[in-house]
Amino acid sequence: MSLEKREEGKGLSKAGMMIFAVRTTTGQERTVANLLASRVAARNLPVASIFVPEVVKGYIFVEAAGPHVVDEAISGLKHARGRTRGTVNIGDIEKFIVVKPVIEELGEGDIVEVVGGPFKGLKAKITGVDRVKEEVTIELLEEGFAILPITVHADYVKPVEKGQGGGVGGEESS
């Protein structure tokens, strides 16, 4: 308990968890995070989260109960180079946590579900994406609806599966 009070604001997050930086081989951050997540699950280690920021190369951040937990989790892990000394202040990594707009995940040929408006609950195929206006043009896949292009804001669709360029619902034409 005294550790929590002494370390208040210096890398501690909820429930006494601390954030540690782990050095990795540059370009292998996601691989290390996936391997680490598997090992944590298999050994039932007290790790709350693993954070891989896109802009920080060669490092991942692990929220764990203590440094010994991180050391145990990364020991012998391929591409994990070691844990840095000390903890990381949550304020130092908050700037890397950016909410990605839905439009960034959408592409032509993707299958989506409409989550708002008169077509709520229906599946559709994306035929066009306007990233500037944050709008997508869709064709409804449900029977009983004419195949008409409908333009909706990207916030009104939820990705269901990635398309293969021509994919579901017939041929695609520009």
Report the alpha-carbon distance of residue 19 to residue 87 in Å, rounded: 6
Q: Are 29 and 52 in contact (CB under 8 A)?
A: yes
Q: What is the pTM of this model?
A: 0.52
Q: How many residues does the chain have?
A: 174
Question: CA 25 to CA 31: how far, in whole Å?
Answer: 10
CA atoms within 13 A on the CB side of 11: 19
Q: Going residue by residue through the chain (174 aa), what tens digit of pLDDT does each one get? A: 333 333 334 444 456 789 999 999 999 999 999 999 999 999 999 999 999 988 889 999 999 999 999 999 999 989 999 999 999 988 888 887 777 777 888 889 999 999 988 889 999 999 999 988 889 999 998 887 778 899 999 989 998 888 765 444 444 443
Query: Taking the CB of residue 18, how many other CB atoms lie within 10 A of it?
Result: 24
Provide φ and ψ at 41, rounded to 5°: -65, -40
Domains (ranges, CATH) in the chain? 2-94 (3.30.70.940), 102-161 (2.30.30.30)
Query: How far, in Å, CA of 103 to CA of 108, rounded?
Result: 11
CB 22 within 8 A of CB 59: yes
- Reported in sequence order, the residue ranges of 25-109 that DSSP labels E, i.e. its strands, are 47-51, 59-64, 80-83
